[in-house]
Amino acid sequence: MSHGHVALGIDIGGTGMKAARVDTRTGELLSDRVRIDTPQPSTPAAMAEVARELVDTLRWYGNVGVAMPTIVRHGVIRSAANIDASWIDVDAAALFGEALGHRAIVLNDADAAGIAEMRFGAGVGRAGVVLVLTFGTGIGSALFVDGHLVPNTELGHIEIDGCDAEDRAAASARRRDHLSWAKWAKRVDHYLGRLVMLLSPDLIIVGGGASKQADKWVPRLTVDVEVVPAAMANNAGIVGAALASRQGGEG
Ligand code: BGC
């Protein structure tokens, strides 16, 4: 079923599941964003049920794009850092497809956000090596080379000083450890320094929940690379998922 330039994106996170209709020509949301808490435990069956609720609420009948906070290889979940471990090896494309009654295209959440930022946001027209990082419950990464995505990079999980980077520098770590913006920015700065050493990016786009308050921490970064806040705030995952649902089609 074709909807012209309208597509549906669902962005699944460790704490919330969000969906909206998206104009694939402009990246704008065409409906209110609908949000439901991620069920706990966040099992495949429980989350597929919530996805159906979201799609029903938006009265959508067609293909959907689904962004997951996990490695997604050809529709199959291969990691589970911030969701239930029972997701591992689940064919999410088949599960959501069945629950929603239409084809589901499933991809990593940071990859989805990155696709949206490159198409409509802070990465428009940017060639070279561009790294998009999302700071939320975890840290997600999307790596682009001349606009082409290298899917499923997991740069939130590099080890720094014996710790998982996301455990120290995700937005959730700032709240958990009651850190000031300055203290948390220092952790992020240290993390970005390692990434710059490893990848020599031309640009780093910082997104996720923490990008809403980018003015509180981005100006404090000292790392030797251009760092800009994501332009699409927290909707990038939804928009990127919606774009992905049009794979091979117009958009
Ligand atoms: C996961 C990534 C995900 C990121 C943001 C990390 O813990 O390993 O796959 O992109 O969180 O949700």
Q: Tell me if 88 sits within 8 A of 128, measured CB to CB.
A: no
Q: Which of 13, 7, 22, 6 is nearest to 51 (CA)?
A: 13
Q: Report pLDDT for 247.
A: 78
The 8-class DSSP code of residue 11 comes to: E
Q: Which CATH number is 124-231 given?
A: 3.30.420.40
| Stretch 142-161: mean pLDDT | 97
The percentage of the chain sitting over the pLDDT mark of 90, rounded to a whole number, equals: 92
- What pTM value is reported for the model? 0.96
Q: Which CATH number is 6-111+235-247 given?
A: 3.30.420.40
Per-residue pLDDT tens for 130-148?
999 999 999 999 999 999 9
Pocket probe for ligand 1: among 111, 135, 166, the residue whose CB has the most ligand atoms within 8 Å is: 166
Q: Where are the domains of the chain?
A: 6-111+235-247, 124-231
pLDDT at 57 exceeding the cut of 80 = yes
pLDDT at 251 exceeding the cut of 70 = no
Per-residue pLDDT tens for 17-29?
999 999 999 999 9
Q: Atom 5 of ligand 1 has which residue's CA nearest to it? A: 140
Q: How far is the CA of 102 from the centre of ligand 1 (A)?
A: 26
pLDDT band at 109; cut points 50, 70, 90: very high
Q: How far is the CA of 69 from the centre of ligand 1 (A)?
A: 5
Q: Tell me if 55 sits within 8 A of 19, measured CB to CB.
A: yes
- Mean pLDDT score across all residues of the chain: 95
pLDDT at 86 exceeding the cut of 50 = yes
pLDDT band at 70; cut points 50, 70, 90: very high
pLDDT at 33 exceeding the cut of 60 = yes
Same fold, 6-111+235-247 and 124-231: yes
Residues 6+ apart with CB under 8 A from 66: 9, 10, 12, 51, 92, 96, 104, 105, 106, 107, 241
Q: Decide: 11 in ligand 1 pocket, CB within 6 A.
A: no
Q: Which of 170, 35, 21, 46 is nearest to 96 (CA)?
A: 46
3-state secondary structure of 64: strand
Q: Report pLDDT for 2.
A: 54
| Stretch 68-90: mean pLDDT | 97
| Stretch 48-72: mean pLDDT | 98
